């Protein structure tokens, strides 16, 4: 019988967080535990911090120890290898990361890009549940992460934040960090979002946009300023999306 619970771990540039997830309800079945990402984001240091976090989660799970484990990470992930590195050491680039994690965690894991995990959480438990056709999730934060999901199937490593628009890397102009860095008001930032989403809409003709990241809590400040043909909605599982998606993918 497939497990109804799994562990999700979300590794970021500033923190590593994880929890036990109830896969039937899409809710956390334990408190969320968070530890700082080691300064410099070196592979060995992150691996050790992740092992310590998993030990704590196993203790929380108690008799249900050895649950499936999913780990999401801020990088392009191809066959377990990290091909990029966002806000962590460049030593991750080209690293066979999944077997390294499995060795130190002493179990099989499912290893996935963080935006892809968030997208899968929204299709399984959130704003895109039951949606047919093409769903594009974007996370607006330090950069722009993206996830493509077609009829519930995840198409990994889309990296739509790096589209070139008007001679610029899209996320350098339209990420939430650009708004903060340049002290833009909602109206002027929304103009940049409009340019970005209109371009993505033209390229892909999606059926639904889902917008995640911390800025989604300010949805009413910027969403009404956007004019798109495609429905656009806020993500439901903001800071827990990576944990939920990683856990759900691990238990498939």
**Helices and strands: H and E segment counts in the chain:** 8, 15
Residues 147 and 184 in one domain: yes
If DSSP states are collapsed to H, E and C, what string results for 78-129?
A: ECCEECCCCCCCHHHCCECHHHHHHHHHCCCEEEEEHHHHHHHHHHHHCCCC
| Number of other CB atoms surrounding residue 156 within 10 Å | 16
Boundaries of domain holding 77: 5-117+240-250
**Using one digit for the tens of pLDDT, what is the confidence trace for 12-69?**
888 999 999 999 999 999 999 999 999 999 999 999 999 999 999 999 887 666 899 9
State pTM to two decimals. 0.90
Mark whether 161 and 182 lie in a shared domain: yes
Q: Looking at the chain, how many residues does it have?
A: 252
pLDDT in tens, 56-71: 999 988 766 689 999 9
CB 154 within 8 A of CB 109: no
Task: Please list the residues that pair with 165 across neighbouring strands.
Answer: 168
- CATH of residue 112's domain is 3.30.420.40
Considering the domain architecture, whether residues 148 and 60 belong to the same structural domain is answered as no
Hey, which residues does 164 pair with through a beta bridge? 169
Q: How far is CA 199 from CA 136, 152, 172, in A?
A: 13, 23, 15
Is residue 124 assigned to a domain? no
Let me know if residue 148 belongs to a domain. Answer: yes
């Amino acid at each position: 019988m497939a497990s109804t619970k799994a562990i999700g771990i979300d590794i970021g540039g500033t923190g590593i967080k994880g929890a036990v997830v109830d896969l039937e309800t899409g809710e956390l079945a334990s408190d969320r535990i968070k530890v700082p990402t080691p300064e410099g984001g070196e592979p060995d240091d992150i691996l050790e911090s992740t092992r310590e976090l998993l030990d704590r989660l196993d203790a929380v799970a108690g008799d249900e120890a050895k649950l499936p484990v999913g780990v999401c990470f801020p990088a392009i992930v191809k066959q377990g290898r990290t091909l990029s590195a966002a806000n962590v050491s460049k030593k991750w680039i080209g690293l066979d990361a999944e077997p390294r994690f499995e060795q130190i965690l002493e179990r099989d894991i499912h290893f996935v890009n963080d935006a892809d995990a968030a997208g899968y959480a929204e299709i399984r438990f959130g704003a895109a549940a039951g949606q047919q056709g093409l769903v594009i999730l974007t996370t607006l934060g330090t950069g722009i992460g993206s996830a493509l999901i077609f009829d519930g199937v995840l198409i990994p490593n889309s990296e739509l934040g790096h589209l070139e628009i008007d001679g610029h890397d899209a996320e350098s102009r339209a990420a939430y960090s650009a708004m903060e860095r340049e002290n833009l008001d909602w109206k002027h930032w929304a103009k940049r979002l409009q340019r970005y989403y209109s371009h993505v809409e033209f390229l892909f003709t999606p059926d639904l946009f889902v917008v995640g990241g911390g800025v989604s809590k300010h949805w009413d400040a910027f969403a009404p300023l956007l004019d798109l043909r495609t429905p656009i909605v806020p993500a439901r599982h903001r800071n827990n999306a990576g944990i939920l998606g990683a856990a759900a993918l691990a238990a498939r």
